[in-house]
Structure formats: structure tokens, C-alpha cells
Chain A
Amino acid sequence: MATFKEFRNNVKPNWCPGCGDFSIQAAIQRAAANVGLEPENLAVISGIGCSGRISGYINAYGFHGIHGRVLPIAQGVKLANRELTVIASGGDGDGFAIGMGHTVHAIRRNLNVTYIVMDNQIYGLTKGQTSPRSAEGFKTKSTPEGSIETTLSPLEIAMSAGATFVAQSFSSDLKQLTKLIEEGINHEGFSLINVFSPCVTFNKINTYDWFKANIVNLEQFPEYDASNRVMAMNKIMETNGMLTGLIYQNKERKSYEDLVTGFKQEGLAKQDIKITPEQFDKLVAEFK
């Protein structure tokens, strides 16, 4: 069984020192080892942006796609070979701005993919513009007078789209984050894990200290029941989306792969693709 070190490679990330993404990378590597994966059976699909580079920093099959399209690519990989563990990852711009349409539909579709969003509330790679996660009034290069749009709540959107696994964490809480990623991987269906990942260069508001002061860990509510959808939605609203931990999990709903008629457990990519003369004749006969 592979150790977390085997999920490391020799590439030095081009993230700024202190970037929250480093911890997320480490958490993915630890979680992959903890759930017993081998590097060749893990596919990490990532988007465009600072965080999108993560697929190149993990020793696994990595696919760095195009902006906002992480999820359709990841779902394609999973459909082609459901024996692979598929982790999709990208930033809040990638997933909640340009890729929001895919995010909602990937949630609805519920393929067994773990989606980790590195949420820094800003566009970093393009050097500091507003993101759908930026707070109202947030001043950036593209919103010099402060953002006049509302902040998007991915957790509420995920819940209303019928998500079967919703979690949120903070990159400084490596222990919680690792555990949530493990749970996400083990979840039979689509898992959304939104991770606060401070941008130390362009976001001077949502800093490590700011998050530490504002985060609400669900552990402090012993009566919280993550299988209760209404409770989950209430808690998200009560905490203004600042809660961390496993927010909601529906273990009843089957994954997309399990609902597709005739879909086998064996990866489709491994199945024989040649049709027999009998099969061919039968197909052709319909056109007579």
C-alpha cells in the first residue's frame, strides 16, 4: 500500500509562500494514502488558476484542463473507468464563476467524483480581481469601488441542487481537511468539499487570522445531524456559510454509475469493444 510520500513528486509548486493551497495538496496526498490508493489508480483533474496546477504536484495521473471545465472532464474519466478514484480540483473562480453551470449539474448527476474547491475569494493568477466568492464591498483591481454584487453561497447552491455530500474546511486545519477528503473519496456519489484557502498576496481581508476568527466548527454542535437536509441548510444560513466539517451526507441515493442501466463494475475502458457478427446483423436488421 502506498504511503503519502508516494503521492509526492519532485515538482516545486509555483504558489506563493504561505498560500493555502500547499496544505490542500498535502491533505489530498495523505487522504489518498489513508484510504489505500495507489498512485496509478488516482486521477487528479484540475482547472485553470493558481490552484489548477495541483494536478501536476501530486504523483498520480494528472490532467490539467481548461478554465471552468474540470468537472465534465473528471466525469468523463470516471465514466470511462469507474475503477479509478477521481479527484477534481480548482479555484472558486473556476468552479463558481466560469464553471458554475457544470458544478450544479455535476452535483445533480452524482457521479462518484470528489470535488475540492480551493476557495480564496479572489482571482490570484490574474493578479487580483473579484470572484463570485468575494464579499460585497470587497475592493479589487476590477472593483476599485468595492464589489456591488452579492457573494455566492456554493453550499446553499449545492444543497438545493440535491448534493449527496457537502463539506467545508480550512486549509490550516489539515487534520479535519484530510478526514473530510477521505470521507469524500469513500462517499458513493459526488462530494463537494469547499476549502478556505487564503491568498496571501492579493486578499488582505480574508486572511488566516480572519478565518480563524470567523470559522464555526460543526464539532461544537453535538446535536448536529449531517444526514438532515433541513438542519444542514439552516446551519449554513445561520453561520453565513462560515461553518466547517461534514455539513450534509445522503448515503441512500445511489451514484450515477449505479443507476445507469447495464453499467458494469469493471471499468468500461477495460471492456472489449469489438462487436460480433450476430450483434451486427441484429443492429442492421432494424433498418430493413
Chain B
Amino acid sequence: MISQLSWKIGGQQGEGVESTDRIFSTALNRLGYYLYGYRHFSSRIKGGHTNNKIRISTKPIRAISDDLDILVAFDQESIDLNAKELRLGGVIVADAKFNPTIPEGIDTRLFAVPITAMAEELGTSLMKNMVASGASWALLGLPLDVFNKAVEEEFGRKGAAIVEKNVEAVKRGAEFVLEQAGGPLDEFKLDAADGQQKLFMIGNEAIGLGSVAAGCRLMAAYPITPASEIMEYLIKKLPHFGGTVVQTEDEIAAVTMAIGANYAGVRTMTASAGPGLSLMMEAIGLAGMTETPLVIVNTQRGGPSTGLPTKQEQSDLNAMVYGTHGEIPKIVIAPASIEDCFYDTIEAFNLAEQYQVPVILMTDLQLSLGKQSCDQLDYNKIEIKRGKLVTDVPALEGHDLFKRYELTEDGISQRVLPGEKGGLHHVTGVEHDETGRPSENALNRQNMMDKRLNKLNDMYVREAIRVDAPHDTPDLLIIGMGSTGGTIDEARSLLEQEGVTTNHITIRQIHPFPTKPLLPYLQKATKVIVIENNATAQLAGQIKMHAGFADKIESLLKYDGNPFLPSDVHKACKELSLDGNVQRV
């Protein structure tokens, strides 16, 4: 019996890789297994190799694995590209249609299943996904009735005949492979899961769900990989809550529409990735200057320019921290799990209104698109805080205006919404006085700059840094952000077994940088390694700039488009612990 295994399906984009993965993993989720998915895809619709990998475990997991147990291949290319990942004893399930062969030098078992032929026998090659997932399911020796129930739910709306055909496809795939293998493979027999059904979602869906829970009722966005799922989720949900999504002509329209809507009182978001974020820069300054709440999700992908649009990277950090001309207050939060995506989105909307600033929620492609298990989300933790939003303000006298930008102790002024009789004021991106009217007065300028820029003094988000520090003086302090946490933790348990002690800090508040809470850990550490998916060590740069310790901070960088593997982290940490140099991955 094993506690975890990895399964991968590969084929040409558009030939059912996604749907096979979806059905297979939904059924596994029913049984209560923890799942963690990784999508390898290209920026086109049909054609081109694509593969989806799922890790299945009886315990929580948050990382892809180095190796692979089962590879399902719809074409020879999928075998050629992925067979090297198979561990000793791993198997390939391939469509007999293309006469699959095992590449030279790879020791594995191949089951050639007439996947396409069986699907066509049942009426359509579209059912390849059913035959393939049935065969996979059978090899694991899992109960077929659970799988059939998932099929029923997937196709129930299309009628009993369709369900029946799909169930039959699953059965044929399963029976064929079992006959070839002589029954389920013992080495793939998974321990029973806890039977507790988890939530199974991608980060973008958790952000969408979080925004509905946060009271976001409008979204203005322009399609882009890997952010579009947020928009697609909200397009389905917001109409049930009175709101809507506008697909704008570009990202500049998206962000400025969001600013207009937030100004008029509706929690409104936009979501994009690098190229869109670059287009939004001027408007982010407008939100900062006019103290208009704004939530932007930036799902990072490979840059610069169009870069690697479907690949993992964490290279927009500096753009998010420093972006827009001039100086404004801004919050950048980096969720590090699916749960974070949900709760941080709610917090982002609260902070935007409490501090009247733009808030950027920063994910990366693997967190945004990697489908994974997540524990139940808690309704009771949903809190809506609207800060100094006021209504029923006293009537104004004569030509007086409401002091929307009143200088206050904490720099935050009362905010009223258009429609409020006593609230008339002006809003402008030009430097302005307390009523919002343009002013070039030098003293006013200084006061207003100080007011805005001091708003975020000592502001900390929930778990600004997430600390896992079992050791008082570890050999290594590992620092990361975003989706890399699970990978780091897996490497840590290996290191621990080898006698290398580590602490792990996840930086969740990227800006303003949480120097104060981080400082004690840096002071105590002898060696620090900062792990990030970019080429210029942007997170390490923030740490060095704000906290110092340049002499003991090393970096592990990966910018080939792929997420870190536990082995990458393990190797680098091992070398560093032995006083070696860290090589980039």
C-alpha cells in the first residue's frame, strides 16, 4: 500500500486531455484523496503537446512531484516527452491506435489500450477520455461505482443514454487494461483516503469565490492567460447577486472602469497578468492619488513582454511594488495557498476600503491554475469592513464642499458616495486640497503627500509573514512566496531526514514590506536562502533593501517556465548547508 502517487495524461491540445483529467480527479476527490494538479499547456487552442499531472495522496500535498507512476498517452509525442519522468516500476497506458513504443533506455511497462477504437465503437472518439480514465482507475484498483457516479453527474443533464454510453466506455477501458495487467497493480494500491470530501479548485476560482463573498459585485476585465478564469467564474455568479462583469476593450478601460465603480460605491475588481498590469500602471496612480479603493489581481506568468504566457514565473514583483509614476501608497498581498486565495481576496477588498488605496493580489500561474484540494472554507470568517465610508452627513452651507481629503491623524479621511446630499466634493488626479480642489500650494502638497504615504504605516495583513520555525537555530532559513511553499516543505522533510534543519518563512505581504516581523528571524539565521521563480532575485532584493543581511542571503532562482520541483529545492539547500554555492536551476 502506498500513500501517494502521480498520474499524468498527455496528448494534443483539444483532444480530451483536460476532460480526462477533470473526470478522473473529480472521482478521486469523491473518495477523499488530496490532489494537486499541474497543467502544462501552450497558448493555442488545438494542437501542440499538452499534459496534465495530478498528484494523489492520503495526506495534504501542495507540490508537484519529481517523478511519475502512471502516464496516459494519446500520442507517441506524449510518451517521448514524458516517459523519462516515470519512476522505476511506473507504467504507460497508451492508445493502441498509434502503435506506441517505449523510448530507448526507459524501463517501463506499456499497456496498449485501443482507446480511440473503443470510443469510436461506442459512437464517438470524444469518449476517449472515458476509456482512458476508466483504464487508469482500474489500475489503481479503485471502486468503479464511485467513478460511475461522477460520470453520471457530469453527463446527467444530457440524458440517460449518454450517461450509459460513457459508463460503458469507462467499463471497457477498465476491463481491457485489467486483462492485460492481470488485475489491479499491487504497487499502485493506495491507502484508503479519509473519505472526507475536500474542495477541489484552482486558485482563480478561489479568488472568484472570495470576491463574491467579499461583496464584489462588478468586475471589469480583459481576457488574458492565466487570469481569465476569475472573469469566467464571476460572469456565471455575479448575476445571481445583482452584479455583472464587463469585458472591456483593453486593460486600461478595465482598471479605470473599476476605479469609477469603486468611486461610486461598488466593490469592483479587475484581474490580469503582466502585459495587462503594465497597461494599468497610470490608473493605479490615479487610484492612489484620489484615494479610491481598488482591487487588482495579477496572476503572474512568464515575462517580459509576451514572454511565456502559459508558464510559471514570479517576475512582476518589482512592477507591482514600484509600478506607476510618482509615489503612492499601495498594498501587495501574495496568497500562498488555495485557502489564502479565498481569504486574502476578502481581505484585499476590506483593506482597499479601509485604507482607500489600490490593493494588488499577486498570484502566480501555478497557484492560479493548479487544481488542488483545499480544506473547507469558513463562512464565519467572512467579514466586510468598509472603513470610513459614511452616509447621512450634514448638509453643506453655501459653496462649501465636503472635506473628502481632510487631514487626519491616521491620514484616512471620511469617504462619501455620489448621491449623498451633504457630500459634494471634487476628485482629481491633480494635487488637491482637503475638498479635492486642485491646489499647487507647497505646504498643502507636502501635507497631502504625507497624509497619503503615511496611511500604511504599521499596516499588516493577516499573517504578513507565515512562519514555520520548529528550530531555534536552524542550519537554513528558507524564504519563499506564492505557490512554492508546498515544494519547499517537501524538500525540507527530505533535508530533515538527512540531518539538515530548516525553518521556512512565506512572505505574504510583499508591500509595504513586513520588515519588523521578519527581522528577528533574519537576525537569528546563519544562512538564508530565498527561493523564487525569476531571474533577478526580486524578493531577495526587497529583503536586502529593507532588512539588510546581504552577506548571509543566497538565492535559488528558476525562470525556465516550470515550477520548482522538490528536488530542485532539496539540492540547492543541501549544497548551501554544506557551504557550497547555490547554482541556479
Chain A interface residues toward B at CB < 8 A? 9-11, 38-41, 43, 45, 55-56, 59-66, 69, 71-77, 79-81, 83-84, 101-102, 104-105, 109, 260-264, 267-271, 273-275, 277, 279-281, 283-284, 287-288
Interface string of B425-438 (1 = CB under 8 A from A): 11111100000011
Q: Decide if A283 touches B212 in the complex (CB within 8 Å).
A: yes
Q: What residues of chain B lie closer than 8 Å to A275, measured between beta carbons?
A: 212-213, 215, 241, 382
Q: Decide if A269 touches B264 in the complex (CB within 8 Å).
A: yes
Q: Decide if B256 touches A80 in the complex (CB within 8 Å).
A: no
Q: Decide if B264 touches A80 in the complex (CB within 8 Å).
A: yes
Decide: A40 near B437, CB < 8 A? Known: A77-B260, A263-B244, A275-B212.
no
- CB contact between A9 and one of B259, B399, B427 (< 8 Å): that residue: B399
- CB contact between A287 and one of B200, B242, B283 (< 8 Å): that residue: B200
Chain B interface residues toward A at CB < 8 A? 29, 197-201, 205, 209, 212-215, 217-218, 220, 237, 239-244, 246, 248-250, 252-254, 256-268, 282-283, 286, 290, 374, 376-377, 379, 382, 384, 399, 417-421, 423-430, 437-438
Q: How far is the CA of A69 from the CA of B425 in the complex (A)?
A: 20
The 7 closest A-B pairs by CB, nearest first: A76-B260, A273-B215, A269-B265, A80-B264, A76-B261, A64-B428, A73-B260
Q: Decide if B263 touches A277 in the complex (CB within 8 Å).
A: no
Chain A proximity of B296: nearest CB distance (Å): 14
Q: What residues of chain B lie closer than 8 Å to A271, measured between beta carbons?
A: 217, 242
Q: How far is the CA of A55 from the CA of B261 in the complex (A)?
A: 17
A and B contact pairs by CB, cutoff 8 A, 27 listed: A43-B418, A63-B263, A64-B427, A64-B438, A65-B256, A66-B282, A72-B248, A72-B256, A72-B257, A73-B257, A76-B220, A77-B260, A77-B418, A79-B244, A79-B266, A80-B261, A102-B253, A262-B239, A262-B242, A262-B244, A267-B419, A268-B218, A268-B242, A269-B264, A287-B205, A288-B29, A288-B198
Q: What residues of chain B lie closer than 8 Å to A10, measured between beta carbons?
A: 399
Q: What residues of chain A lie closer than 8 Å to B220, measured between beta carbons?
A: 72, 76
Beyond A55-B426, A69-B256, 6 additional pairs, beta carbon < 8 A: A56-B437, A62-B426, A66-B256, A72-B248, A102-B249, A268-B218
Q: Decide if B419 touches A101 in the complex (CB within 8 Å).
A: no
Decide: A72 near B252, CB < 8 A? Known: A39-B424, A77-B264.
yes
Q: Decide if B268 touches A277 in the complex (CB within 8 Å).
A: no
Q: How far is the CA of A281 from the CA of B215 in the complex (A)?
A: 16
Chain A proximity of B231: nearest CB distance (Å): 15
Chain A proximity of B541: nearest CB distance (Å): 30
Chain A proximity of B149: nearest CB distance (Å): 12
Q: How far is the CA of A283 from the CA of B240 in the complex (A)?
A: 11
Chain A proximity of B73: nearest CB distance (Å): 29
- CB contact between B263 and one of A76, A268, A283 (< 8 Å): that residue: A76
Q: Decide if A80 touches B212 in the complex (CB within 8 Å).
A: no
Decide: A72 near B253, CB < 8 A? Known: A63-B260, A288-B197, A288-B200.
yes
Q: Decide if B213 touches A280 in the complex (CB within 8 Å).
A: yes
Q: Decide if B419 touches A83 in the complex (CB within 8 Å).
A: yes
Chain A proximity of B175: nearest CB distance (Å): 29
Q: What residues of chain B lie closer than 8 Å to A41, measured between beta carbons?
A: 418-419
Q: Decide if B426 touches A268 in the complex (CB within 8 Å).
A: no
Give the nearest-CB partner of A268 in chain B.
B266
Give the nearest-CB partner of B217 in chain A.
A268
Give the nearest-CB partner of A48 in chain B.
B429
Chain B proximity of A126: nearest CB distance (Å): 15
Q: What residues of chain B lie closer than 8 Å to A270, measured between beta carbons?
A: 265
Give the nearest-CB partner of B237 in chain A.
A283
Give the nearest-CB partner of A280 in chain B.
B379
- CB contact between B267 and one of A83, A104, A273 (< 8 Å): that residue: A273
Q: What residues of chain A lie closer than 8 Å to B260, measured between beta carbons?
A: 45, 63, 72-77, 79-80
Give the nearest-CB partner of A83 in chain B.
B419
Q: What residues of chain A lie closer than 8 Å to B212, measured between beta carbons?
A: 275, 283
Chain B proximity of A45: nearest CB distance (Å): 7
Q: Decide if B257 touches A283 in the complex (CB within 8 Å).
A: no
Q: Decide if B424 touches A40 in the complex (CB within 8 Å).
A: yes
Interface centre among A83, A104, A273 (most CB of B within 10 A): A273
Q: How far is the CA of A263 from the CA of B201 in the complex (A)?
A: 28
Q: What residues of chain A lie closer than 8 Å to B259, measured between beta carbons?
A: 65, 73, 76
Give the nearest-CB partner of B421 in chain A.
A40
Q: Decide if B384 touches A43 in the complex (CB within 8 Å).
A: no
Q: What residues of chain A lie closer than 8 Å to B249, measured between beta carbons?
A: 101-102, 104-105
Q: Decide if B399 touches A283 in the complex (CB within 8 Å).
A: no
Q: Decide if B213 touches A105 in the complex (CB within 8 Å).
A: no
Q: How far is the CA of A9 from the CA of B400 in the complex (A)?
A: 9
Q: How far is the CA of A41 from the CA of B384 in the complex (A)?
A: 27
Q: What residues of chain B lie closer than 8 Å to A261, measured between beta carbons?
A: 239, 244
Q: How far is the CA of A80 from the CA of B218 in the complex (A)?
A: 8
Q: Decide if B382 touches A280 in the complex (CB within 8 Å).
A: yes
Chain A proximity of B144: nearest CB distance (Å): 20
Q: What residues of chain B lie closer than 8 Å to A64, measured between beta carbons?
A: 426-430, 438
Give the nearest-CB partner of A40 in chain B.
B421
Q: Decide if B252 touches A80 in the complex (CB within 8 Å).
A: no
Q: What residues of chain B lie closer than 8 Å to A83, measured between beta carbons?
A: 419
Q: What residues of chain A lie closer than 8 Å to B426, measured between beta carbons?
A: 55-56, 62, 64
Q: Decide if B197 touches A69 in the complex (CB within 8 Å).
A: no
Chain A proximity of B291: nearest CB distance (Å): 12
Q: What residues of chain B lie closer than 8 Å to A39, measured between beta carbons?
A: 424
Q: What residues of chain A lie closer than 8 Å to B257, measured between beta carbons?
A: 72-73, 75-76, 79
Q: Decide if A268 touches B243 in the complex (CB within 8 Å).
A: yes
Q: What residues of chain B lie closer than 8 Å to A288, measured between beta carbons?
A: 29, 197-200
Q: What residues of chain A lie closer than 8 Å to B241, measured between beta carbons?
A: 275, 279
Interface centre among B243, B376, B377 (most CB of A within 10 A): B243
Q: Decide if B246 touches A65 in the complex (CB within 8 Å).
A: no
Q: What residues of chain A lie closer than 8 Å to B377, measured between beta carbons?
A: 284
Chain B proximity of A67: nearest CB distance (Å): 8
Q: Decide if A66 touches B263 in the complex (CB within 8 Å).
A: no
Q: Decide if B379 touches A69 in the complex (CB within 8 Å).
A: no
Q: How far is the CA of A223 from the CA of B249 in the complex (A)?
A: 38
Q: Decide if A65 touches B286 in the complex (CB within 8 Å).
A: yes
Q: What residues of chain B lie closer than 8 Å to A273, measured between beta carbons?
A: 214-215, 217, 267, 384
Chain A proximity of B374: nearest CB distance (Å): 8
Q: Decide if A40 touches B266 in the complex (CB within 8 Å).
A: no
Q: What residues of chain A lie closer than 8 Å to B399, measured between beta carbons?
A: 9-10, 59
Give the nearest-CB partner of B214 in chain A.
A273
Q: Decide if A80 touches B242 in the complex (CB within 8 Å).
A: no
Q: What residues of chain B lie closer than 8 Å to A105, measured between beta carbons?
A: 248-249, 253
Q: How far is the CA of A267 from the CA of B262 in the complex (A)?
A: 13
Chain A proximity of B85: nearest CB distance (Å): 28
